[in-house]
């Protein structure tokens, strides 16, 4: 192409571009196509997803879930430590009542849940919901080592004695308390043992529980008969009954000393209204490591003093238990002035004595009647005889055979306290202690 033709070519291109623009501007408006919707698959409220067929339930052989009592107890871990042992026991009791054995296992710990204990606890839980006594399901039994080892019990509601408590021995570590061991009550068909725990604290507690329930023969199983008289046991039953004493909820038994074959405990009791504390002590011993622990001594001096103050108006001589010159102890019953009838309180004391006499018809006792010094010697001799006979007759009415009882009239010849002062004046408080009948349990 020659240089002279270029201007014509440029002009043609410009004219063509202008025509094209004019043509495009004359096209009708065209709406853009709608966007393609994004479909999300989800169940519709109006058209719900059809239900899936049910999954067949698995049998016990096919699944092992935590709802199985034994399995729930299996993974206990190290146990929980609490600064307050009462709080720990409350949480364990709550978990057991709810049937949450997994939570109970975590609180108790593997040290206390060996295979045998797990099996027994699982069986206990499977037998039905555990229900503990109200309002205080947890009770501290006593200390084995002061501020180091203590025993607590969860009290089952409505269970018979011997099957009514779960025992937890707690140990103190790093300022907290954890469960060291667990002892469960005997299961169905198992005999109630002589004592669930046969260490010194277990025997001491079993003896006290029997005395509190007025179970003389049961209490006697836990004492050394050569060291502790039947009168001492009966006297303690009477003190508990008349004074309304109960074991204190916390630290009822406190270890005074612990040796290999000898242990001493201080027992803290509350009066019937729970307002005051009284104490007495017991010594528990055994001959060697293979022998049974037995109660060998009961010192009731402080408890008798509290009883005299509470029941006898402060008269320390007004006591239901005396040392007998022949050895052992003698029960004492008191009479009103010039009276030979039994008071309701005296009748309750005699009912306890009758219980222990009916158990063994071979047991015998001697009842002596006494008076103060007012009146003639002959009159008082006769009055003392009537008092002894009144005691005998009541025991016979309670089912004791007459051949088991001997009566003796002592009149005014054996006063316990002076009938008169040194100045020769009347001594009413002294005479009050002399109007009595004494029961010597000669067995």
Q: 3-state DSSP helix/strand/coil percent for the chain, to nearest 5?
A: 35, 20, 45
Using pLDDT thresholds of 50, 70 and 90, give the confidence band for residue 74.
confident
Residue where one domain finishes, among candidates 151, 183, 215: 183
CA dist., res. 22 & res. 389, Å (int)? 147
Q: Is residue 190 situated within a structural domain?
A: no
In this prediction, residue 96 carries a pLDDT of: 94
Mean pLDDT of 307-328: 73
- Mean pLDDT for the chain overall: 82
- At 241 the pLDDT is 84
| Distance separating alpha carbons of residues 248 and 212, to the nearest angstrom | 12
Portion of the chain with pLDDT greater than 90, in percent: 45
User: Does residue 24 register a pLDDT over 90?
Assistant: no
Domain shared by 326 and 431, yes or no: yes
301/324 same-domain check:
no
- 342 and 286 inside one domain: no
Please give the structure tokens belonging to residue 341. Answer: 């009838």
Instruction: Write the DSSP string, 349-379.
Output: HHHHHHHHHHH-TT--EEEEEE--SSS-HHH
Q: Is residue 52 part of a domain?
A: no
23 in a structural domain: no
Residues 297 and 340 in one domain: no
Residue 50 lies in a domain: no
pLDDT digits (tens, 9 = 90+) for 122-174: 999 888 889 999 888 999 999 998 889 999 999 999 888 888 999 999 999 98
Please report which confidence band the pLDDT of residue 368 belongs to, taking 50, 70 and 90 as the band edges.
very high
Q: Does 433 share its domain with 334?
A: yes
Q: From 285, 315, 345, give the residue that closes a domain.
A: 315
ω before 135 within 30° of 0 (cis)? yes
Same domain, 330 and 440: yes
Domain range for 289 is 198-315
Query: Looking at the domain assignment, is residue 133 inside a domain?
Result: yes
Q: CATH number for the domain including 381?
A: 3.30.1330.60
Same domain for 328 and 426, yes or no, is yes
pLDDT in tens, 272-289: 777 778 899 999 999 999
Is 224 a member of any domain? yes
Query: Pick from 277, 300, 315: which residue ends a domain?
Result: 315
Based on the domain organization, do 235 and 265 belong to the same domain? yes
Cα–Cα distance for residue pair 420/424, rounded to 1 Å: 5
> Could you tell me which residues come within 8 angstroms of residue 193 by beta carbon, excluding any fewer than 6 positions away?
162, 186
Model pLDDT for residues 396-406, shown as the tens digit of each residue: 999 888 888 99
Q: Is 393 left (phi over 0), alpha (psi -120 to 50) or beta?
A: alpha
Do residues 299 and 350 both lie within one domain?
no
Least confident of 23-37, 145-159, 359-373: 23-37
Claim to verify: residue 148 and residue 234 sit in the same structural domain: no
User: Which residues are within 8 A (CB) of 441 and not within 5 positions of it... i.e. 6 or more apart?
Assistant: 229, 230, 231, 234, 328, 330, 331, 353, 363, 365
pTM over 0.85: no
Same domain (yes/no): 435, 422: yes
Residue 167 sits in the same domain as residue 202: no
Residue 148 Cα distances to 9, 170, 183, 260, 417, angstroms: 116, 8, 19, 17, 47
User: Would you call 154 helix, strand, or coil by DSSP?
Assistant: strand
In a domain, 383, yes or no: yes
The answer as to whether 118 is a domain residue is: yes
Is the CB of residue 236 less than 8 Å from the CB of residue 204? no
Mean pLDDT of 390-418: 92
Query: Of residues 47 and 375, which shows the higher confidence score?
Result: 375
**What CATH number corresponds to the domain at position 219?**
3.10.450.50
Q: Region of 339 please: left (phi>0), alpha (psi -120 to 50) or beta.
A: beta
pLDDT at residue 355, rounded to an integer: 79
Query: Is 266 a residue whose pLDDT tops 90?
Result: yes
* CATH code at position 164: 3.10.450
């Amino acid at each position: 192409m020659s240089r002279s033709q270029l201007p014509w070519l440029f002009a043609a291109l410009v004219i063509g571009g202008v025509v094209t623009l004019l043509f495009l501007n004359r096209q009708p408006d065209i709406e853009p196509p709608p966007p393609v919707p994004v479909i999300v698959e989800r169940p519709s409220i109006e058209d719900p997803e059809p239900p899936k067929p049910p999954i067949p339930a698995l049998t016990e052989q096919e699944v092992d879930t935590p709802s199985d009592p034994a399995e729930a107890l299996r993974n206990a871990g190290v146990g929980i430590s609490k600064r307050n042992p009462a709080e720990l026991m409350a949480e364990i009791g709550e978990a057991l009542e709810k049937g949450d054995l997994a939570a109970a296992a975590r609180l108790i710990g593997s040290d206390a849940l060996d295979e045998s204990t797990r099996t027994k606890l699982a069986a206990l839980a499977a037998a039905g919901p555990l229900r503990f006594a109200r309002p205080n399901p947890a009770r501290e039994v006593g200390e084995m080592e002061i501020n180091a080892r203590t025993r607590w019990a969860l009290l089952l509601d409505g269970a018979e004695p011997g099957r009514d408590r779960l025992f937890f021995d707690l140990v103190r570590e790093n300022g907290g308390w954890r469960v060291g061991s667990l002892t469960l009550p005997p299961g169905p068909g198992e005999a109630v043992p002589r004592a669930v725990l046969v260490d010194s604290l277990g025997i001491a507690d079993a003896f006290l529980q029997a005395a509190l329930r007025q179970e003389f023969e049961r209490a006697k199983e836990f004492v050394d008969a050569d060291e502790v008289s039947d009168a001492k046991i009966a006297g303690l039953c009477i003190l508990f009954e008349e004074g309304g004493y109960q074991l204190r909820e916390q630290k009822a038994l406190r270890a005074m000393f612990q040796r290999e074959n000898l242990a001493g405990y201080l027992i803290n009791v509350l009066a019937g209204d729970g307002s005051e504390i009284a104490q007495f002590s017991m010594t528990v011993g055994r001959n060697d490591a293979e022998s049974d622990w037995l109660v060998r001594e009961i010192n009731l001096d402080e408890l008798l003093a509290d009883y005299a103050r509470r029941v006898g108006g402060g008269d320390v001589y007004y006591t239901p238990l005396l040392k007998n010159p022949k050895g052992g102890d003698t029960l004492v019953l008191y009479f009103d002035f010039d009276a030979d009838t039994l008071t309701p309180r005296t009748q309750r004391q005699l009912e306890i004595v009758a219980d222990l006499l009916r158990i063994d018809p071979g047991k015998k006792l001697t009842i002596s009647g006494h008076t103060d010094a007012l009146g003639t010697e002959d009159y008082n001799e006769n009055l003392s005889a009537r008092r002894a006979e009144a005691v005998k007759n009541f025991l016979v009415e309670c089912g004791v055979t007459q051949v088991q009882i001997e009566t003796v009239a002592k009149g005014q010849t054996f006063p316990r306290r002076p009938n008169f002062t040194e100045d020769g004046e009347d001594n009413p408080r002294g005479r009050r202690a002399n109007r009595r009948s004494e029961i010597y349990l000669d067995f």
